[in-house]
Amino acid sequence: MNFLAIVGEALRALRQNRLRTGLTMLGMIIGVAAVVLMLSIGQGAQTKINQTIAEMGSNLFIVVPGATSSGGFSFGSGSIRTLTIHDAQAIAELPTISATAPVISGTAQLNYAAKNWSTLITGTTPDYFSVGNWKIESGTTFTESDLRSANRVVVLGSVTAQNLFGDEDPVGKTIRITNRPFLVVGVLMAKGQSLTGRDQDDNIFIPITTSERQITGNQFPGSIRLMLVQCKSADEMDIAEIEITQLLRQRHRIAKGKENDFTVRNLTALADVATGAAKVMSMVLGAIASVSLLVGGIGIMNIMLVSVTERTREIGIRMAIGANQRAILTQFLLEAMMICFMGGLIGLLLGIGGAWVVSQVADMLIVITLGMIGLAFLFASAVGIFFGFYPAKKAASLKPVDALRYE
């Protein structure tokens, strides 16, 4: 018997029992839709985290001054100001390091015309923008010469710019920071929230020299709150960490066996943890959805077994008029697989539709990849073959005389 004819017989059998076929398919539809939806949500979360990490800047270390203790009291990290701008400059000279950006920070009151706004103020160097992966929306960043002459220039974060200026273009305007006039040279592109949920765009940036001398002041001149260090490549992160540590120990004249007075943190490692967590979440979601696919598969087996019993006489007739075991096996297997395939297709469309709805309603990033679609289909077919085979085998191995006599 040719294969196409068996396909026709299987299709006819499915059409004859529309309700049963539909209900069986429903199990498959829900399973595949759930898998697609869950995978796309998981993948979306992963992509979102990856984006945030990329925006943070790649291959980053953050170096903060260490903790100190005095008379038995331990003060928190950064409680002494051991790191200096000169440390940052020295680290920048290391062969594995591409740039460093020292940072001092504080808060300040801003005024423009009748509006005023209080925000975080960051004193840093021009390298900060490349290290932190900031992009300029309009104007420029401040320059090395601004830094050397401690000019009163400022780069605004997008949220700050919006709050002070509204629709007006801030570049070239003068704002007052704690009553001192500053020239706005640039506005940054929006970056959104950091991994910790802080709005990174509500911020202003001025040369670190200007900040130290005129705005935030400094208890220990030349010391900094932290520095960002960018490594040239991801592979050299480990070496770079050792080099930074050694260099700072030398510069700070720390004797062997004494603890560091600074801490080097690898931000990429943090990012890896976050990505890993997202992956685990993605897998857990997928696994939960797979259970419904499994249940759908068992439903198919159940129905096919009932179908074989119910159609025993039909199987007997087919055998009497010349169907061999392979023809019977193929027909029943095809029926199961068609249910899976059609159910899978509908489930896929529903899953994509559901993902779109979720992305609209919950404002989440949803990612659907070809691999995901392939996986769902592969899984659906596998379920069809796996759960369809046993009933089909059972049908095919009936003895013609017994099948014919079955009432």
Stretch binding other proteins (CB under 8 A), from 152-160, 237-245, 272-280, 317-325: 317-325
The neighbour count for residue 53, using CB atoms within 10 Å, is 20
Stretch binding other proteins (CB under 8 A), from 132-140, 173-181, 236-244, 313-321: 313-321
Tell me the Ramachandran region of residue 190: left when phi exceeds 0, alpha when psi lies from -120 to 50, beta otherwise. Answer: beta
- On whether the CB atoms of residues 95 and 233 are closer than 8 A, the answer is no
Per CB under 8 A, the list member of 147, 327, 339, 395 interacting with other proteins is 327
Shortest distance (Å) from residue 310 CB to other proteins:
11
Rounded to whole angstroms, the Cα distance separating 330 from 391 reads 11
Burial code of 373-400, b = ≥16 C-beta within 10 A, e = fewer? beebbebbeebbeebbbbbbebbbebee
Stretch binding other proteins (CB under 8 A), from 8-16, 44-52, 191-199, 258-266: 8-16
Number of residues interacting with other proteins: please give it, by CB under 8 A: 26
Q: Is 12 in the site for other proteins (CB under 8 A)?
A: yes
Per CB under 8 A, the list member of 33, 94, 99, 323 interacting with other proteins is 323
Stretch binding other proteins (CB under 8 A), from 39-47, 113-121, 318-326, 338-346: 318-326
Rounded to whole angstroms, the Cα distance separating 331 from 347 reads 24
Q: Is 19 in the site for other proteins (CB under 8 A)?
A: no
Shortest distance (Å) from residue 50 CB to other proteins:
54
Stretch binding other proteins (CB under 8 A), from 40-48, 290-298, 321-329, 386-394: 321-329
CA atoms within a 13 Å half-sphere pointing along the CA-CB vector of 287: 6
Closer Cβ to other proteins, 11 or 269, answer by number = 11
Stretch binding other proteins (CB under 8 A), from 2-10, 58-66, 105-113, 376-384: 2-10
Closer Cβ to other proteins, 167 or 407, answer by number = 407
The neighbour count for residue 58, using CB atoms within 10 Å, is 16
Closer Cβ to other proteins, 250 or 325, answer by number = 325
Closer Cβ to other proteins, 145 or 325, answer by number = 325
Per CB under 8 A, the list member of 76, 322, 362, 363 interacting with other proteins is 322
Q: Is 326 in the site for other proteins (CB under 8 A)?
A: yes
Closer Cβ to other proteins, 334 or 348, answer by number = 334
- Residue 88: Cβ-neighbour burial (10 angstroms; 0-12, 13-18, 19+): buried
Measuring CA to CA, which residue among 372, 378, 387, 383 is closest to residue 47? 372
Measuring CA to CA, which residue among 393, 290, 207, 265 is closest to residue 37? 290
Closer Cβ to other proteins, 161 or 403, answer by number = 403
Residues numbered 340 to 399 that lie near other proteins (CB under 8 A) are 399
Closer Cβ to other proteins, 13 or 226, answer by number = 13
Shortest distance (Å) from residue 314 CB to other proteins:
6
Stretch binding other proteins (CB under 8 A), from 77-85, 160-168, 315-323, 339-347: 315-323
CA atoms within a 13 Å half-sphere pointing along the CA-CB vector of 34: 20
Q: Is 309 in the site for other proteins (CB under 8 A)?
A: no
Q: Is 116 in the site for other proteins (CB under 8 A)?
A: no
Shortest distance (Å) from residue 402 CB to other proteins:
9
Per CB under 8 A, the list member of 1, 294, 345, 358 interacting with other proteins is 1
Under the rule (CB under 8 A), what is the footprint of other proteins?
1-2, 4-5, 8-9, 12, 16, 313-314, 316-327, 399-401, 404
